[in-house]
């Protein structure tokens, strides 16, 4: 629930299985630089700063990984690792309630 509205009504595993989006985890020594460079990139529906990187919900992880790697390298923003990860319930919730703030093509 969010602001009195029911967002999901199913078992967590089933919600994750039917999410329909990719989730990327990118780690770096300076995660704020990652966020600053990627927050306007296409294909991101939500972006959350974590302790050591960013967590992104994207339209197509296989497509976006090489795009984001190229973009970060071109901007001289270093990162340690970029990988697709399984969605969490938190990813589904954040994408549902905050995704519209960072929604792009």
Task: Please say if the pLDDT value at position 25 is more than 90.
Answer: yes
Task: Please say if the pLDDT value at position 100 is more than 50.
Answer: no
List CB contacts of 2: < 8 A, sequence separation 6 or more.
Answer: 93, 96, 97
**Average pLDDT over the chain, rounded to an integer:** 79
CATH no. for 22-100: 3.30.70
Q: Give the pair of three-digit tokens for residue 29.
A: 């020594």
Helix (H/G/I), strand (E/B), else coil: 99 = helix
> According to the model, what pLDDT value does residue 46 have?
86
Q: How far apart are the C-alpha atoms of 33 and 55, rounded to whole Å?
A: 13
Q: Give the pair of three-digit tokens for residue 13.
A: 């595993």
pLDDT in tens, 35-82: 999 998 999 988 989 889 999 989 999 999 999 999 999 999 999 999
């Amino acid at each position: 629930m969010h602001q009195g509205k029911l967002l999901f009504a199913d078992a967590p595993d089933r919600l994750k299985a039917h999410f329909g989006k990719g989730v990327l985890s990118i780690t770096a020594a300076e995660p704020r630089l990652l966020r600053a460079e990627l927050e306007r990139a296409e294909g991101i529906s939500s972006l959350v700063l974590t302790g050591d990187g960013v967590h992104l919900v994207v339209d197509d992880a296989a497509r976006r990984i090489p795009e984001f790697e190229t973009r970060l390298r071109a901007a001289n923003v270093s990162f340690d690792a970029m990988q697709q990860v399984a969605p969490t319930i938190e990813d589904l919730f954040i994408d549902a309630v905050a995704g519209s703030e960072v929604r792009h093509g």
